[in-house]
Amino acid sequence: MTGPIFDTHAHYSARAFDADRDFLLGSLPGKGVVGVCEQATHSGDAPKVLELAHRYPWVVAAVGIHPESLLPAADCGEEGPAPTVSVYGGDWAAEMRALAPYYEDPKVVAVGECGLDYHWPVPKDAQLAMFEAHIRLALELDKPIIVHDRNAHADVYALLKKYQPKGIVHCYSGSADDAVWLAKQGLFIGFGGACTFKGAKRAAKAISALPLESIVLETDCPYMAPEPVRGTRCDSSLIRYVGEYIAQLRGLSAEEVFRTTAENARRVYGL
């Protein structure tokens, strides 16, 4: 058994886990997993996320709207558009109002997953307005924010610098210098399987530059399984490969990395 593992970013409500979700989630404590933060990406996810958080004591929840949820139907796959489009017609503000009661649940410990994603054909002005609204909500609720940043570093950082929320920059892909100032501002930097991939030199530099007290571990499961199991379905127990990689990179024991990052996760989520 490896641990203590705290997975700060997971998606067990995804279809990839339909067949064996209960067995897998129930088995995690036996694999050293002491905590999981399940992320909602729109109003369709939120009830499933809360159901999992209430069923398993080691699961907590984050609720928000992912920028990808704004994708129009023509750009979506076989699952079709998210409720942000199919139910609310792109009116993300109305969807945020509908999500408001979820934040009263003590199992909801963060606002997110939200942020900016310039990889997808979603208008930037809508993304920026929605992300700023999430930041303001997190500050109003005094909850951490879970930040998604894909190909949008400058605009994400500008808003984080303006509002200075607490939270996690998920799946960090920026420079070491930016990671350091984000951490000095009080944000935690999340690393998952992608940091173990061959060629992930920017992640290695950021991990080396940061104090361990500013790092949290994540999976983004079922996506981005780490080396040496890349290409398989990811789950929280596979964080051990990420922790071992970070330990080797920094010349630390894996147990120290697991222990410190789990403490960091509890601190950012107020657990």
| Angle at 113 (CA atoms; ends 110, 117), nearest 5 degrees | 150
CA 234, distance to chain mean position in Å, is 14
Partners of 169 in beta bridges: 147, 189
What six digits make up the tokens of 150?
């894909």
Is residue 113 marked as binding?
yes
What six digits make up the tokens of 190?
């999340």
Pairing of strands 5-10, 145-150: unpaired
| Angle at 138 (CA atoms; ends 133, 141), nearest 5 degrees | 120
Give the Å distances, CA to CA, from 99 to 54, 72, 87, 188. 17, 21, 13, 25
Is residue 170 marked as binding?
yes
What six digits make up the tokens of 213?
């007290």
Secondary structure class of 56 (helix, strand, coil): coil
- Rounded to whole angstroms, the Cα distance separating 43 from 97 reads 10
87: burial class by Cβ within 10 Å (0-12, 13-18, 19+)?
Answer: middle
What six digits make up the tokens of 89?
């017609």
What six digits make up the tokens of 199?
């060629």
- Rounded to whole angstroms, the Cα distance separating 218 from 220 reads 6
Is residue 220 marked as binding?
yes
- Rounded to whole angstroms, the Cα distance separating 236 from 248 reads 20
Q: Which residues are annotated as a binding site for a divalent metal cation?
A: 9, 11, 113, 148, 170, 220
Q: Which residues are annotated as a binding site?
A: 9, 11, 113, 148, 170, 220
